[in-house]
Every structure is written in C-alpha cells, then in structure tokens.
Amino acid sequence: MKKRYLAAGILLLAFGFFAGRAGPRRGAPGSAAAGGAETAAIWTCSMHPQIRQPGPGLCPLCGMDLVPAAASSRGGDEPPRRLALSPAARRLAEVDVTPAERRPVAVDVRLAGRIEPDETRVATIAPRVGGRIDRLYANFTGIAVKAGDPLADLYSPELLAAQQELLQAGRAGALLDAARERLRLWGLTSEQVAEIERGGQVREHLAFHAPLGGVVVEKDAREGQYVEAGMPLFTVADLSTVWAVLDAYESDLAWLREGQETALEAEAYPGEPLRGTIAFIEPVVDPMTRTVRVRADVPNPGGRLKPGMFIRATVKASTAGDGTGAAPLVIPASAPLITGARAVVYVAVPGEEGAFEGREIALGPRAGDFYVVRSGLEEGERVVTSGAFKLDSSLQIQGRPSMMSPPAALAAESKAQSVCPVMGGKIDKKFYTDYQGLRIYFCCGACDAAFSAGPEKYLEAMRAAGVEPEPLPGGPHAH
C-alpha cells in the first residue's frame, strides 16, 4: 500500500513539473497578454502609446512587446474627449476641481534698471562765435551751479567788432537794430546789449551763464583753449528729478501702463522705499535683450540718487476687466495643460458624477497663481486643478484626443501601412491580399488566412490607429 501511495505521489510531482514547463512563461507572447487578445481589438506600446496596432507584436519604435490597450468604457455616442472615473479611481488619480470665477487678481511685476538724468532737464552750453576761453568759473565736473551763474569768460575779436558797430550805429535806425540783433544771435542777452549801449564801451569778454540750476555733468572747456562756434563746452543737468529706466520682458507688458505708481529700491539705500510714476513705455523691443525700456519719473530731493545707480522696481498691477466693468474670468495656474499655442483643461461634466471632458481654451496673461481665460469657459464651470495630466495620459493611451493629439490632428492623420495588421510585425510586400479595392500587406504568408476570417475587424483597427490601406489603381478608393 505504501509503495502505491509513493508511486502516485511521484506521478503527481512529475505531472506538475511538466505542466509548468509546458505552460506559458512570463513575458512570452502566449502569456497573459495573449489572454487579453481575445477581448482587445487594439494593441499598443507601454512606452509609445501613439502606436496602435490591430494585433500583438513588437513596437516598431523600441521593440517592446505590444500589450492590449485599455478597453474604452464610453458608449458609441459619448464624446471622444470624455472620461469617466469611479470614486476609487478619482482618489487614486488625486483629482481635485475648482470652479472658474470672475475676480480681480493682483500681480507684482518686478523690474530692474538704472538711474539716468531727466533728458528734459539737461542743457548743453556751446559758443555761437569763435574765440578763446580766458577764465573758467565751473572748473571741474560735478560742480553744482544755479540758474544764471557764470561758467566761463570768452574773448572773441568778432564780438569786439560787433560791439563797436553797435556803438557807431547811432541812436536809431536800421543799422542799430541790425547790430543789436547780431549780438543777440551770438549769445548776448537783451540786458547785456542794453548795458553796452548805456556804458558806451565794448566788453572784452562774453560770459556764459548756466541756463538752469543743477550739476555740471560734462566739461570740455579749459582755460586758454581756442574754441569754435558750436563746440560743446559744458553739460548741466538738473537732478532734482531723475529717470528710472527699467527693462521689462514682453510677458510683463500686459500689466504695465503709463501713470502707474512704482515702488523703487536702490542698492545704495536698502530698505528705504522710493516712489516713481511710469511716464513712458518705448514702442519697440530691443532685439538683443528682448526687453522693452520703461521710464519712470522719480523725485530726487537732495540729489541722493546718482545717474548710473542700479535700481529695482515693483509695479502692483491688477487684471483689467473686459470693458463691461466685470472682473475677468480666472482659473488656477495648475489647471491648464499648455503645449505650444494650445491650452487644454478638463472640466467636470454637470450631472455626471466622476465624468470629465477635455476642452481647449484661450488663455490671457498669467497673474501670479492664476490665468486669465479669454474664451472657452463659463463662470462656475469646475475645472480639474490636480490630476489633469493623469486624465490626459489615460486618453493618450486609448488613442483619443488629448493634450498632445488634438482632434483635428487625429482626424487628418493618415499613415501608410508599415506593420502587419495580424501579427504586428514589419510588412513584407511579397505577402498581401486585395479586399474591396484595398491592398493589405502582411509580415508572412500565414497571416492571409487570419485576415480573411475577419477582414472588417482588422480594417477597423487599422483605421482607428490612423493607418489607411493602399488603394488599388482603378478601384473605388483610388484618387
């Protein structure tokens, strides 16, 4: 009896061993993946979900085994960009929604630049007649001057001759008026001309006076130097008000406008707030830096801000309305999936728990943690702010319209056949069959019989993958 039990045990072990050896191995083409072949019409690649084949085989891009694509739960009339998730799937995908709402949103635009003199408060002093500088009053760069202060004395033989003509012209007449006008054109004021007439003596030197109060920022004059008419001698700048010239990126321009108040901070005075007002935005973009110069007027009492100083600015802006007085429609910045010029959001379908639908929208500028929505959404619609990428990835794997595959592109895409519809291998044009005016190629001769057993199933799968069979010349599908 014991011998019979022992023999039976040995037979059972041997049967299990050989059954295991004969059964499907992990990763083999006839394993669990084959079990899904009975129900899966489309096979795809785990690494390249855009690959859609009507049967098992190898991925033409990476060579991995194709796996059955996830079966779609949507009905025949359900929109292609809609996806329904169970409560457990929503928790696993960490899906969270937020309603789109109209609200004012503040944004801080940060700029950097430098201090420059106010060009409207800068004057250049140049002689209108040639001569020699005999004395300098403003004898170094940076000296402070007041309006009317003398800067230099000029000796000019031409001025001496013009003064003598004035004294010899008499009390009235055209010659007197012409002599007065010549001296005024050469830089003498009406008071200086009248003083020459009263004194009856010529003045050997002409004094240059500062036309405004400020600082001598440039000095090209030296005592004893001979100068010509029009040669710049001094540049005087009034620094009681200066310019903060800031560089703004193109993306910042939507938030900047003339008249905005600007908070400034200089490197020389950290923590000390300064105020300015945007007075001008240049109409051109610098082609080298891709920035636009923005000019702010800054009061400078005491001259603490020096031209050339670095400056930082913060402009507090807010989203503008749509012209009707209503606040703009905004969504959180995490909601849209942006690729190139397209922006896709997933919206919760009203009345269908767990259903979400992809939608393309037009975005305006970004305002901090929000985006302004120009079109494509209505107030109150709930958009997915967390888990949107997982929803989109699920649609990509199913070959449906998604962030990377817009509906128009899927509809217009028509690829030539490159893989066998039965086995998924590379086609060999020696093996083919003709069906209803179309030529379908296979990887080997054995696939012909499998295709003939269900041609419509394979054709539907090919077209779902964007593959159009080759039309026969003269057939109903020929162009």
Parse the chain into domains and list their residue ranges: 82-104+324-397, 110-118+239-318, 127-232
Per-residue pLDDT at 265 exceeds 90: yes
Average pLDDT over residues 445-451: 87
pLDDT for residue 325? 59
Which residue do the tokens 């499907």 mark? 24
User: Exposed, middle or buried: residue 330 (CB in 10 Å: 0-12, 13-18, 19+)?
Assistant: buried
Average pLDDT over residues 120-140: 91
- The third-level CATH classification (topology) of the domain covering 82-104+324-397 is 2.40.420
Question: Higher confidence at residue 32 or residue 231?
Answer: 231
pLDDT for residue 70? 56
* pTM given for the model: 0.59
Per-residue pLDDT at 132 exceeds 50: yes
- Condensed to tens digits (0 to 9), the pLDDT of residues 277-298 reads 999 999 999 999 999 999 999 9
Average pLDDT over residues 189-198: 81
Return the sign of the alpha-carbon dihedral for residues 180, 186, 189, 191: negative
Per-residue pLDDT at 371 exceeds 50: yes
Per-residue pLDDT at 347 exceeds 50: yes
Per-residue pLDDT at 474 exceeds 70: no
Angle between helices 174-185 and 190-199 (to 10 degrees): 130
Superfamily grouping for domain 110-118+239-318: Efflux pump adaptor protein, beta barrel domain (2.40.30.170)
Q: In what order do the strands lie in the sheet with 438-442?
A: 428-435, 438-442, 470-471
**Residue 30 — pLDDT band, cuts 50, 70, 90?**
very low
pLDDT for residue 8? 42
Average pLDDT over residues 306-334: 83
Per CATH, the number for 127-232 is 2.40.50.100
CA distances 97 to 17, 216, 390, Å, are 54, 64, 14
- Condensed to tens digits (0 to 9), the pLDDT of residues 410-422 reads 444 457 788 888 8
pLDDT for residue 23? 38
Instruction: Identify the DSSP state of 58.
Output: B
C-alpha–C-alpha distance, residues 2 and 415, integer Å: 70
Dihedral angle over CA of 355, 357, 362, 368, nearest 10 = 40
pLDDT for residue 169? 76
- Condensed to tens digits (0 to 9), the pLDDT of residues 56-85 reads 888 877 788 887 765 444 444 567 788 888
Per-residue pLDDT at 267 exceeds 60: yes
Return the sign of the alpha-carbon dihedral for residues 450, 452, 453, 456: positive
- The pLDDT > 90 percentage for the chain reads 35
Per-residue pLDDT at 19 exceeds 70: no
**Residue 478 — pLDDT band, cuts 50, 70, 90?**
low
Structure tokens at 268: 């020389």
- The pLDDT > 70 percentage for the chain reads 82
Q: Which value, in Å, is the radius of gyration of the alpha carbons in the chain?
A: 43
Per-residue pLDDT at 16 exceeds 60: no
Per-residue pLDDT at 161 exceeds 70: yes
pLDDT for residue 266? 92
Residue pair 216/235 in contact (Cβ under 8 Å)? The answer is: yes
- Condensed to tens digits (0 to 9), the pLDDT of residues 233-243 reads 999 999 999 99
DSSP 391-450: HHHHHHHTT---SSS-HHHHHH--EEP-B-TTT-SBPEEEEEEEETTEEEEESSTTHHHH
82-104+324-397 and 127-232 share one CATH topology? Answer: no
C-alpha–C-alpha distance, residues 427 and 441, integer Å: 6
pLDDT for residue 406? 67
pLDDT for residue 186? 81
Q: What average pLDDT does the structure give for the chain? A: 81
- Condensed to tens digits (0 to 9), the pLDDT of residues 376-392 reads 999 999 999 999 888 88
